[in-house]
Chain A
């Protein structure tokens, strides 16, 4: 039978006086308190911003070092070298192809799997759910050898498909769970309304449930892209030909210099870093509203 929501006013009336006392207590913070809080923020901020500051400066510095320094003159030469001598264009292209495809495949898979876990009544559903979560706890490095062997058997080494499948597999457990949570928040009556309006279950899912769970899809897409964009271990295992190298691997090679770690070309690493971060920043700003709403875990107010 229909369970009727408790009247919201009952909650409101209790919440209001409590909120008021809190507000009064916090009304005028002491100067000391203000300074301390902001100092703490400043320290944390400096800690996180320093690498970016170094990267931004070093990328345009002809003679960068491992320390933050103001360049004597600015140059774009580092970027030229990165593309000309380190095949960074290929690495960027590879990373974009692999990450975008991983994102698409992951989103398709987790939105179907998460919906199934959320809605379909099957026996031992909890077991299935928890074993999926258990997969997430497995350290990636423990799977190196079997994945190498599998990829060799299936001829998936040195191929986009191999990278895409492995990166997708890495992301599936957590994102499946996450999407289950988003679908749990979509009221069942919405898809029931679509069924009754004449839609099949699959189309109702696509036309009604997915749009409502859009913030979740956004987060899943963002996380899948980022993960594939940053992943290096599996690239090391699966790729040994230059034409399939991705950006993190290009970093690795630049940092190694010419066969040794002693003569690192910091300005090149920084230039790569700038190019590496830009697409991610662009992606974030393009989808920030969706991402924030998704990360806040709400599908309301659509």
Chain B
């Protein structure tokens, strides 16, 4: 097992244009599960493929266990990759699929069989060992792909959206299992996804990427509570953070409709800012209170354990997370107040967070 480092890695595909990955630096600690999160085309899969040796970086260095692997063949990197499409060998049985990397490593037959048996037990694949991949369900194929990765005991696991071909229920279940397995095995893991909920639940740390650039890297709590910029603020969290254009007046920001929101002490900014408020950082009351901003309810989304109230304020729709028993009628006037600790400020021009 080993740590993984990207140092100023850039990759441009033929035809030039925008770099697929631009000046990416990050590190994954030994045994850590790092989730690289971003929308389609943000460069996360390219980063993973460079780590796997399926693409070569144009500039920068990639190290596994402190050793530069740039220019190495994939076979020499001692990493395992779980593909989005699982990439099981269709002509081999489940057993032979899992055995394949061990055969390559010329591991003795008894040892080989023992390791396959352990992995099959771990993943509950015992009954499927003699089947062909085409005879398995998506979830089962996923397990076999995981098994083929685990059985090698590699330096690092690379996972390229491994859950995105599963249905929602199975995805949540497998997510938990992967996290459990990773904890149990303690293998350094580089996990790529576009699903922010997946990232939040799985990650030790999340690296958020957009347009080939690293936006922020931090623990799930850090990226959720203190997004580095508007992109991260909007990409993480469901529903996303409310972002409201505002005018800075003294120690408050005035948003549409004249709502006066006190800003964090010491936050320096110009006159125009963007105020960020998580849906749970807004208190909603059905009766007037001092300093509370009246607004009209547009619609409500009951989710069982909570209710998302969509409130109209000027041209903006603000989402507020409330307790399930709060059920205002559409058209009703409610009163909003910002939680003092939950107010975030972003530069209106650059979108960068203004730290308080």
* Bound Cα distance from A193 to B81, whole angstroms: 7
- Give the residue of B77, B83, B91, B164 whose beta carbon is less than 8 angstroms from that of A189: B83
Asked if B104 and A1 make an inter-chain contact with CB atoms under 8 angstroms apart, the answer reads no
* Bound Cα distance from A187 to B77, whole angstroms: 22
**A75 in the interface (beta carbon within 8 A):** no
Given A212-B90, A301-B134, A302-B91, CB of A189 within 8 Å of CB of B101? no
Asked if A4 and B164 make an inter-chain contact with CB atoms under 8 angstroms apart, the answer reads yes
Given A1-B44, A2-B160, CB of A195 within 8 Å of CB of B73? yes
> Among residues 67 to 117 in chain B, which have CB atoms less than 8 Å away from a CB atom of chain A?
73-75, 77, 79-81, 83-85, 87-91, 100-101, 104-105
**B319 in the interface (beta carbon within 8 A):** no
What's the count of A-B pairs with C-beta under 8 Å? 75
Asked if B41 and A1 make an inter-chain contact with CB atoms under 8 angstroms apart, the answer reads yes
* Bound Cα distance from A29 to B84, whole angstroms: 48
* Chain A residue total in the interface (Cβ 8 A): 22
- Give the residue of B45, B73, B100, B160 whose beta carbon is less than 8 angstroms from that of A197: B100
Closest A residue to B192 by beta carbon equals A2
**A200 in the interface (beta carbon within 8 A):** yes
- Report B39 CB to chain A, min CB distance, Å: 8
**A199 in the interface (beta carbon within 8 A):** yes
- Give the residue of A190, A196, A212 whose beta carbon is less than 8 angstroms from that of B75: A196
Chain B interface extent, by class = 20 to 34
Asked if A2 and B40 make an inter-chain contact with CB atoms under 8 angstroms apart, the answer reads yes
Closest B residue to A204 by beta carbon equals B75
Asked if A212 and B105 make an inter-chain contact with CB atoms under 8 angstroms apart, the answer reads no
**A255 in the interface (beta carbon within 8 A):** no
Closest B residue to A302 by beta carbon equals B90
Residue-wise interface mask of B (224-252) relative to A, using a CB-CB cutoff of 8 A (1 in contact, 0 not) = 00000000000000000000000000000
Q: Given the complex, which residues of B lie within 8 Å of A198, measured CB to CB?
A: 75, 101, 104-105
Residue-wise interface mask of A (19-39) relative to B, using a CB-CB cutoff of 8 A (1 in contact, 0 not) = 000000000000000000000
**B54 in the interface (beta carbon within 8 A):** yes
Q: Given the complex, which residues of B lie within 8 Å of A214, measured CB to CB?
A: 91
**B281 in the interface (beta carbon within 8 A):** no
- Give the residue of A1, A4, A196 whose beta carbon is less than 8 angstroms from that of B74: A196
Closest B residue to A192 by beta carbon equals B54
Asked if A197 and B104 make an inter-chain contact with CB atoms under 8 angstroms apart, the answer reads yes
* Bound Cα distance from A198 to B73, whole angstroms: 9
**A89 in the interface (beta carbon within 8 A):** no
- Report B238 CB to chain A, min CB distance, Å: 19
* Bound Cα distance from A190 to B85, whole angstroms: 9
Given A1-B45, A192-B54, A200-B73, CB of A212 within 8 Å of CB of B91? yes
Asked if B80 and A196 make an inter-chain contact with CB atoms under 8 angstroms apart, the answer reads yes
**A211 in the interface (beta carbon within 8 A):** yes
> Among residues 156 to 201 in chain A, which have CB atoms less than 8 Å away from a CB atom of chain B?
187, 189-190, 192-200
* Bound Cα distance from A153 to B270, whole angstroms: 88
**A147 in the interface (beta carbon within 8 A):** no
Counting chain B CB atoms within 10 Å of each CB, the highest count among A187, A197, A199, A212 belongs to: A197
Q: Given the complex, which residues of A lie within 8 Å of B5, measured CB to CB?
A: none
Given A193-B89, A198-B75, A198-B105, CB of A1 within 8 Å of CB of B42? yes
Asked if A192 and B74 make an inter-chain contact with CB atoms under 8 angstroms apart, the answer reads yes
* Bound Cα distance from A3 to B83, whole angstroms: 13
Asked if A208 and B75 make an inter-chain contact with CB atoms under 8 angstroms apart, the answer reads no
* Bound Cα distance from A5 to B158, whole angstroms: 22
Asked if B101 and A197 make an inter-chain contact with CB atoms under 8 angstroms apart, the answer reads yes
**B205 in the interface (beta carbon within 8 A):** no
Report, nearest first, the 4 A-B pairs whose CB atoms are least far apart: A198-B104, A193-B87, A197-B101, A195-B74
Interface CB pairs A-B, < 8 A, 30: A1-B40, A1-B42, A1-B44, A2-B160, A2-B161, A3-B40, A4-B164, A187-B85, A187-B87, A189-B85, A189-B87, A190-B87, A192-B54, A192-B74, A192-B83, A192-B87, A193-B87, A194-B89, A194-B100, A195-B54, A195-B73, A196-B52, A196-B54, A196-B79, A197-B75, A198-B75, A198-B105, A199-B75, A212-B89, A302-B90
Add 18 more A-B contacts to A192-B83, A198-B101 (CB < 8 A): A1-B40, A2-B84, A189-B83, A189-B85, A190-B87, A190-B89, A190-B90, A192-B87, A193-B88, A195-B53, A196-B53, A196-B54, A197-B148, A200-B75, A208-B89, A211-B89, A211-B91, A212-B89
